Amino acid sequence: MRPQVVAHRGSSHDTAEHTLAAYEKAVAVGADGLECDVRLTADGHLVCVHDRDLRRTAATKGVVSTMNLAELDELDFASWKNPWAELDDEAPETDPEAGRVLTLRRLLEMVADHDRRIEVAIETKHPTRYGGLVERRLVELLADFGWTGADSPARVMSFSFNAVSRVRRLAPDIPVVMLVDKAHHWPVLRPLVADDWIIGPDMKELHAHPGLGRHLVKAGREIHVWVVNSEADLDLCLALGVTAVISDRPAHILELLGR
């Protein structure tokens, strides 16, 4: 069985990350799942934003946790990806709404309304001033959709062991992923993580430290890898038997798998 292809922040190679347009494109090309990062606004909304501040994606020094959703909604989260679009007569027309800040609720509504099963890998970002409130609000939101059971299309990921443990306490049936960005972290984590936790190693670390992949396979761990963008990346993932590849280029990875 081929691995699940999950769109990293949407089809983020081609379209501004974490925008509705990026996720709509990922679904259109056939991605099996969507990955997003979430942060909590000052007025308690979960939004799909990777960085703590907005300099890279919205050209402002504002910090997500100090801003209300209404303030974020006034910003442009898309034009940084193609800053010359206004000068290009052949550039396709874009919907300004598709480039605004995306709430997690809106993303989940899009997934729920689709006519095929699409899974969602949700990463909670830490450290944050709101601590465990992020996971609590996330589980409450998933409960609104009826997605806290073993058949949930959602799974929760984090680099924070405490965050993953918190989700497991709040909703024991939701699949969880312990993200690993350094190979030397795994020996420390190995005795702590439960057997049914999925492990999410960094693709770069798998290339640089082949022993990491071998140890995970030997331990019988389910593996979800980020970020898988090339044929060489995919070949290594297939050799390890990973069950999900998270990619900025889901269409490209699906094409490679189709060959």
CA 225 to chain centre: 11
DSSP letter for 2, please: P
User: Which positions are catalytic?
Assistant: 8, 50
Cα separation of 218 and 259, whole Å?
29
For residue 9, give the nearest of 32, 39, 33, 36 by alpha carbon. 36
Instruction: Give residues with Cβ within 8 angstroms of 156, minimum separation 6.
Output: 122, 123, 124, 135, 138, 164, 167, 174, 175, 176, 177
Q: Is 53 exposed, middle or buried (0-12, 13-18, 19+ CB in 10 A)?
A: middle
Beta strands 244-247 and 176-180 are unpaired
Cα separation of 76 and 83, whole Å?
11
59 DSSP β-pair partners: none
Residue 180 near residue 201, CB atoms below 8 Å:
yes
DSSP letter for 63, please: B
Q: Is the dihedral of CA 169, 119, 126, 44 positive or negative?
A: negative
